[in-house]
Amino acid sequence: MKIVMVGEGAFANKHLDAIERFNGLEVVSLCGGVEGPTRALAQARGIEHYTLDLAQALAVPGVEAAILASPTPLHAAQALQVMRAGKHVLIEIPMADSLTDAQALVQAQGETGVVAMVNHVRRFNPSHQWMHQKIQAGELRLQQLDVQTYFFRRTNTNAKGEPRSWTDHLLWHHACHTVDLFQYQTGGVAPTVTGLQGPMHPDLGIAMDMSIGMKSADGALCTLSLSFNNQGPFGTFFRYICDNGTYIANYDDLQTGDGVDIDVSSVAESMDGIELADREFLAAINEGREPNSSVRQALGAMQTLDRIERLL
């Protein structure tokens, strides 16, 4: 299958790394936002065609799908463009930065019939898959999901410390991961939500600290702390407090609450959540089915984020 990779940054590289590990996908065009880095990445990866124009990339003969790893504010418009061109699309989280745009994506998917999926990678990380299987089987009952999402970004830089042309957001990007995960693990949209935010940054115009709470229909709680002011280990750390044990997930790895490693290598065919998401995207296209983490399934997270935003 011939696809377009949209984006030239860190997550485009993560998807390119994943694609190299399995057969079935060929990147025939790279569509970036800045000429120099786009050209350099295309040359480094051996991608013959590169462009800054998405329409040109989608017009490359044989292209069937696109993976969007572009800046968050571009996701919705680019996903609509891909779907209206009759191509399948995998969108990096979040699929949009507003509920209205997310609803438009769900509507477009229904009209076009293409596979449209969001890379809610937490659904695919082996650690969270292991927890999901145990919860679904009734072996564990979630009582509280305690999550910390911490970075140090007092300037407009990306994960590699490089200048960024757009501004990241704690709610619509980073909280989106946990909101979707909690609702995925508990089986529905949280009926009760709370949200608090700290002072706005004078230059970036965003809150640098945020606290979010959710309660599922069956009483499970989610406590989420987010900060761009943290000095220490970066990333997101998950503590599942259950009726029959406590578990700590760090992306693809899992431990008990006492720090004992749990072997999750047999959960899926890879230990890389991004690769597993890409595999699901390809499989859904080949099998003509709705993927796990489709835009329709992901809409619940966007609805909850919109409710939280109204509280801030």
Task: Check which CATH number belongs to the domain holding 160 and give it.
Answer: 3.30.360.10
244 burial (CB, 10 Å; 0-12 / 13-18 / 19+) is exposed
Alpha helix positions (H), the chain: 10-19, 35-45, 54-58, 75-84, 99-112, 126-136, 176-186, 273-287, 295-311
Provide the domain limits for residue 186: 125-267
Tell whether 70 and 168 lie within a shared domain: no
Q: Which residues of 84-117 are buried (b: 16+ CB within 10 A; e: fewer)?
A: ebebbbbbbbbbbbbbebbbbbbebbeebebbbb
Is 301 within a domain?
no
Tell whether 162 and 180 lie within a shared domain: yes
Which pLDDT tens digits describe the chain residue by residue (312 residues)? 999 999 999 999 999 999 999 888 899 999 999 999 999 999 999 999 999 999 999 999 999 999 999 999 999 999 999 999 999 999 999 999 999 999 999 999 999 999 999 999 999 999 999 999 999 999 999 999 999 999 887 776 666 666 666 667 899 999 999 999 999 999 999 999 999 999 999 888 889 999 999 999 999 999 999 999 999 888 899 999 999 999 999 889 999 999 999 999 999 999 999 999 999 999 999 999 999 999 999 999 999 999 999 999
Tell whether 139 and 257 lie within a shared domain: yes
Tell whether 34 and 52 lie within a shared domain: yes
Place of tokens 């009926």: 191
Tell whether 133 and 109 lie within a shared domain: no
Task: Check which CATH number belongs to the domain holding 42 and give it.
Answer: 3.40.50.720
